[in-house]
Amino acid sequence: MNNKQCTIAKPVSFEGKGLHTGKKIKVTLKPAVANSGISFTRVDLNNRLTIKTIVESVLNLPRSPRRTSIGIDCAHVHTVEHFMAALFCKGIDNLFVEIDNEEMPGLDGSAKEYLDILSKVELKELDALKKEFLVKEPVFVEDKDSFIAAFPSNELRISYTLSYNHSYLNCQYLDLVATPEAIEKGIISARTFCLEEEAETLKRSGLGKGADYDNTLVVGKNGVIKNKLRFDDEFVRHKVLDLIGDLCLFGMGIKAHIVALKSGHNLNIKLLKKLRSQQAKYQTSGVGSGGHFSVKEGDMLNVEQIQEILPHRNPFLFLDKVTEIIPGKKAVGIKNVTMNDYFFKGHFPQRPVMPGVIIVEAMAQLGGVLMLSETGNRGKLAFFMAINKAKFRKPVVPGDQLIMEVEVGKIKSRTGQVITKAYVDGKVVAEADLMFALVE
């Protein structure tokens, strides 16, 4: 798979009816810039609110059972999971979706027709790397006789067991490495299903108004009614399709081994929320290195690429650019000091001077990039342990360009030492030896 983010090259529109609402829907897909993600706009509503496809936007499941729905205030979009799975297959990271009703079209009940539409559109590569979250500790969610867990892995792998107390749907199992190619070949065309005894109950509760025997596999005692299976195990394949679509609501790729038993949208979303908590924990506890980003000698890193390695964001990111890097040896970076930097509002505001501790932090961030650029340190965290021989030789003020140099002193499997210096106009303004702990 390409490591660069992508979007579509030009807009495309399509129509269909909602699987649950039965309403006619028109959807227009439009290109989006890097790092904007996938977002929906309800163009039929006056406020035209933007709904981002992230786990924080997911509606409470009692309000939208048997589907994944996102919303903000009064703007909702239901049944997004099949569409999201198709985007996963095409590697589309950024997209504006304009929709004139409250549910995505059901089409044939799978994600195949979504993929067919996207396959006819030219893709556009963007100047930003894909984002991925590497699961570091097992995460587990259960509800009665259903569960789903995520275990550390260097790839996305799914092991799903479907088990119903039904003569035709007793037990099915599927295990696969969830590459776009594997999903397209074996998962994307698996259709949604329900038991015959559920169908009338769903319709009485206001669901399934757009469902029929063509777009929904209705399972009776002796098999599928008025339809034929595309796969012998199409039911478990569709559950994996739903899971892939739900995982896309994390807002970035996930590397983990997902093990599930009878998991549905409710448990899938609970798992994502636990993974979000794990992500927050690691972002706040140390300088973390993503598992996908690679750095080689001679690279120059812009701020977006730096953010692929460091968890820091404004106002705490003090590194604007890495102009030179030799992994495991040396790095040179830049911090442009301006009056817009937040710390000048309270630090000698009448005579602004960059705090020495922030100069040290900027050098430490460059040191973190250098240490975590080593292949053997990918996926680790760098915890600040000690500052030695720190000296501040000259004030740094707005308008200065801080050029920092970091050289490796010693890097072992669990610790790293870097020797740092910062310059303005060729003169040393600060220096320090910094020590980090490298942990899994």
Q: Which residues contact 339 (CB under 8 A, 6 or more apart)?
A: 352, 398
On average, the pLDDT of the chain sits at 87
Q: Are 415 and 438 in contact (CB under 8 A)?
A: yes
SS3 category, 360 = helix
pLDDT the model gives residue 413: 59
Strands (E), 79-201: 95-99, 123-129, 132-134, 139-143, 146-151, 157-163, 171-177, 193-195
- What phi and psi values does residue 36 have, to the nearest 5 degrees? -90, -20
Rounded to an integer, the average pLDDT of 112-117 is 97
**Tens of pLDDT along 242-278?**
999 999 999 999 999 999 999 999 999 999 999 998 8
Size of the chain, expressed as the number of residues it contains: 440
> Is 347 assigned a catalytic role?
yes
pLDDT the model gives residue 312: 77
Q: Can you give the residue ranges of every domain in the chain?
A: 4-281, 287-439
**Tens of pLDDT along 353-368?**
999 999 999 999 998 8
> Is 78 assigned a catalytic role?
no
Domain 287-439 CATH class label = alpha beta
With 70 as the cut, is the pLDDT of residue 349 above it? yes
Q: Are 91 and 118 in contact (CB under 8 A)?
A: no
CATH 3.30.390.30 fits 4-281, yes or no: no
Q: Which of 20, 76, 82, 265 is catalytic?
A: 265
CA distances from 172 to 70, 271, 436 (A): 30, 22, 48
**Tens of pLDDT along 408-436?**
887 665 777 899 999 999 899 999 999 88
pLDDT the model gives residue 248: 97
**Tens of pLDDT along 1-38?**
468 999 999 999 999 998 878 899 999 999 999 889 99
